[in-house]
Chains A and B, each alone.
Chain A
């Protein structure tokens, strides 16, 4: 009897304790006929760490495995009776998380060992490039155009068209770049693909190089993703060994040399001209287009840039055909989109859904609805360049145009769900703080305009805003967007614009009533102990960092509002729910 134990070792899994579980198995299995394997992010993050046991082809998947449970699994394998608990494929919640999904880009994630090229090949890997090599470059490009694949980094430009520009560009030296500088806070789609299936990106680029005539490529990956970088480097070395990269690939005469470039932490480098400057070793500042990278990119040579998810889709389209991809469609959007679903939903994780599924289906069916019991208020899509879509628009389908119409953007796939405990003015301030700090400083409107907008939001959240501030905020949002050179500045006002559009009442409550309806903005809230509920246990007084809470044992306590710093530690500590924000 052969048994495989497969442990999910993605960054999230490791942070949840998967490495300890893996180490435990590694120590325990010598002398048995159990084989230990690893895979990466399975996407079912809320069940991490995840362990899969396969005995004679029968698969059982366990969630929330710690070393104690790992011991139970081991003895279960030996006795032929696996534990009955923690079986996630028998859990209704997990099933409803999985069911609406369609995996194309994430096809191999969580299924193969990303550090072993054999696993990728056994799963049909490098069949896409073999197919491409039987076609001409123009045929490959035509197939991609037919599939309708658009740039998954957010801009949504037709990938086949982009490749056609590079193919048509003059010059004997051309570059292909993969943008893996996933800088949006709240997004981890690209990390999951790089950690879980790095060869799919390499193969996608290889196909691109064949189609466009590029012979050198860069994967620009942020340094904050050490595991992704490590697995990419392993994958490239293994592909080189098999002559799938390098000179005269598989005897075809085609060459493609691929490098990994480590980013150094600059959000603006997600913009393609800034990314190119960074590859060249310069400060990552964008420049005016034209010239577009297809004419003059890396080292002033024609260059094409796509993101991780875009490339990962390419081999699958080659193997299964355009129809297998564009049969999922809504309007002018085809295929699937990967989202990092996080925030206040019961089931968080990495999901891939067909175009046309509604936000509500993702939040409620896949995500299982609110995790806190509080009503859901909005979904933030597209990170700092995106916007907040209110609950009333949750029926919006996943489609570039439909999401764009709400004022948000499809973006690269960050999807953060917020409940009524989030203050939308504070959310707008949060994103603006981010873009303001990441502005490269080249354009005055982006550099100074975002700063002035930030100051207005500061004033409003401190209860010092005026209604004139709102008008000024809108004017600034407009001019910053219109007068900035690159996407960072053009889209920076989006979080402010969308919250003003859908949650204007919250802004007005801050300004006129001097109240923060969500109870977040410190200068506008008071923390109070309800006399009737307080048992006088003194727990709150003990935890208060500024000794603002007084009272005698078994008597209701009181908070001195003048001393209170609104840290809410007392609320966390109170077992009787006696402390509230007003």
Chain B
């Protein structure tokens, strides 16, 4: 640890995370969730630092992190657009809506625009099936979204 002079900030942060969440193996998922809550993604430096503080191998953190779809390994855009792909939304034309979002933003789902303004994701179900098709933008759910309404919502995010 003496050699990692530049890591003090990260180590301190890791200590905070572990103090908050706990440092045993059964806490790996909550630890990763906390790292993602702080950084927006699983930042390698912080994961490694948390591994060091807990004494659990960082490979174990990455093994668990890569298994679950909630975790990301790249930074997020400013606006998070989650397109629901649940069955009700699928029946209501979610595929066309996803195509429209991809072509409007010029990225595929799972990607972030080069300017960092948007991250586009698909989710398997937001549980608001009665409002299908639904889109979640920055945590807010919009129901019965048409392509025109989606374009409008994305435009509002740019402002």
Query: Which residues of A line the B interface, CB within 8 A?
Result: 11-12, 14-16, 45-46, 48, 182-188, 191, 223-226, 261-267, 278-285, 340, 342-344, 348-349, 380, 383, 414, 416, 418, 422, 427, 430-431, 434, 440, 545, 567-569, 572
Mask, B16-48, CB within 8 Å of A = 1, is: 000000001111111011000000000000000
Mask, B85-105, CB within 8 Å of A = 1, is: 111101110001001100100
User: Which listed residue (B30, B67, B86, B87) contacts A266, Cβ 8 A?
Assistant: B67
Task: Tell me, yes or no, whether B127 is within 8 Å of chain A by CB.
Answer: yes
Among the stretches B4-12, B73-81, B111-119, B141-149, the one at the interface with A is B141-149
B124 → A minimal CB distance (Å): 5
A262 touches B141 (CB 8 A): no
A567 touches B96 (CB 8 A): yes
A264 touches B68 (CB 8 A): yes
Q: A265-B69, A267-B124, A281-B26 given as contacts; is B87 within 8 A of A185 (CB)? A: yes
B63 touches A264 (CB 8 A): no
Q: A188-B125, A342-B129 are in contact. List 4 more A-B contacts (CB 8 A).
A: A12-B128, A188-B127, A223-B33, A414-B87
Question: Considering the chains assembled together, what is the distance between the CA atoms of A278 and B32 in angstroms?
Answer: 13
Question: Considering the chains assembled together, what is the distance between the CA atoms of A482 and B139 in angstroms?
Answer: 41
Task: Tell me, yes or no, whether B132 is within 8 Å of chain A by CB.
Answer: yes
A-B contacts, 26 of them at CB < 8 A, read: A12-B131, A14-B141, A15-B131, A183-B124, A186-B87, A187-B125, A188-B128, A188-B129, A264-B29, A264-B68, A264-B70, A267-B124, A280-B25, A281-B24, A281-B26, A342-B87, A342-B88, A342-B132, A343-B91, A343-B92, A348-B130, A383-B87, A416-B88, A430-B87, A440-B67, A567-B100
Q: Lowest 10 CB-CB distances: which A-B pairs, in order?
A: A186-B87, A45-B130, A264-B68, A185-B86, A265-B69, A15-B141, A342-B129, A342-B88, A265-B70, A185-B125
| Chain A-chain B contacts (Cβ-Cβ < 8 Å), number | 135
Question: Considering the chains assembled together, what is the distance between the CA atoms of A280 and B64 in angstroms?
Answer: 11
| Nearest CB in chain A to that of B141: its residue | A15
Query: Which residues of B line the A interface, CB within 8 A?
Result: 24-30, 32-33, 63-64, 67-71, 85-88, 90-92, 96, 99-100, 103, 123-132, 134, 139-143, 146-147
B128 touches A15 (CB 8 A): yes
Question: Considering the chains assembled together, what is the distance between the CA atoms of A471 and B15 in angstroms?
Answer: 58
User: Which listed residue (A188, A266, A344, A568) contacts B91, Cβ 8 A?
Assistant: A344
Q: A15-B141, A262-B30, A569-B147 given as contacts; is B67 within 8 A of A182 (CB)? A: no
B128 touches A186 (CB 8 A): no
| Nearest CB in chain B to that of A416: its residue | B87
B137 → A minimal CB distance (Å): 11
B26 touches A279 (CB 8 A): yes
Question: Considering the chains assembled together, what is the distance between the CA atoms of A263 and B32 in angstroms?
Answer: 12
B143 neighbours in A (Cβ, 8 Å):
12, 15-16
B17 → A minimal CB distance (Å): 15
Q: A185-B85, A280-B26, A567-B96 given as contacts; is B147 within 8 A of A12 (CB)? A: no
B74 → A minimal CB distance (Å): 16
A282 neighbours in B (Cβ, 8 Å):
28, 64
Residue with the highest number of chain B CB atoms closer than 10 Å, among A261, A281, A440: A281
Q: A183-B124, A186-B129 given as contacts; is B85 within 8 A of A283 (CB)? A: no
| Nearest CB in chain B to that of A349: its residue | B130
A103 → B minimal CB distance (Å): 18
User: Which listed residue (A264, A430, A434) contacts B71, Cβ 8 A?
Assistant: A264
Residue with the highest number of chain B CB atoms closer than 10 Å, among A183, A348, A431: A348
A545 touches B103 (CB 8 A): yes
A11 touches B130 (CB 8 A): no
A440 neighbours in B (Cβ, 8 Å):
67
| Nearest CB in chain B to that of A384: its residue | B87
| Nearest CB in chain B to that of A350: its residue | B130
A185 touches B70 (CB 8 A): no
Question: Considering the chains assembled together, what is the distance between the CA atoms of A69 and B12 in angstroms?
Answer: 53
A427 neighbours in B (Cβ, 8 Å):
90
A46 neighbours in B (Cβ, 8 Å):
130
Q: A185-B85, A265-B70, A281-B25 given as contacts; is B91 within 8 A of A224 (CB)? A: no
A15 neighbours in B (Cβ, 8 Å):
128, 131, 134, 140-143
B131 touches A16 (CB 8 A): yes
A567 touches B125 (CB 8 A): no
Q: A185-B85, A343-B91, A414-B87 given as contacts; is B67 within 8 A of A284 (CB)? A: yes
B123 neighbours in A (Cβ, 8 Å):
224
| Nearest CB in chain B to that of A17: its residue | B143
A342 touches B130 (CB 8 A): yes
